[in-house]
Amino acid sequence: MHRWTIGCYYTDAFYQLTEKYGLAKVKEMLKDIVNSCYDSALEKQKTEGYIVLERGLATIPLSGIDVPFHSRYLWSGVMPFRACE
């Protein structure tokens, strides 16, 4: 599936959800999903001492790559990000 196709799929899904539940409810649902993922990651970090990144629809973790260095837009924030560790 091409990136453009994936983007259209999510846009269409988001549109359908907002039509069915309304924007406020969809925002709340997304907030719950993000919080759940965050809590799960914290729990993994506590039990295992680290988080193993896994491939997803929009991510391909590469060992040793800690920030999205390929983006010109994000490049100015790379060194400050690394300094925060």
Per residue in 20-58, is it b (16+ CB within 10 Å) or e — as a string? Answer: eeeeeebeeeeeeeeeeeeeeeeeeeeeeeeeeeeeeee
Task: Give per-residue pLDDT as tens, 71-81.
Answer: 777 778 777 87
Question: Structure pTM?
Answer: 0.52
What is the percent of the chain where pLDDT is above 90?
A: 26
DSSP per residue over 15-43, as a string? HHHHHHH-HHHHHHHHHHHHHHHHHHHHH
Q: What is the pLDDT of residue 1?
A: 45
45-70 mean pLDDT: 77
Q: Which two tokens stand for residue 85?
A: 């560790």
Total number of domains in the chain: 1
Task: Give per-residue pLDDT as tens, 1-38.
Answer: 444 444 466 678 888 889 999 999 999 999 999 999 89
* Phi, psi dihedrals of residue 69, rounded to the nearest 5°: -65, -20
Domain that holds residue 56: 3-83
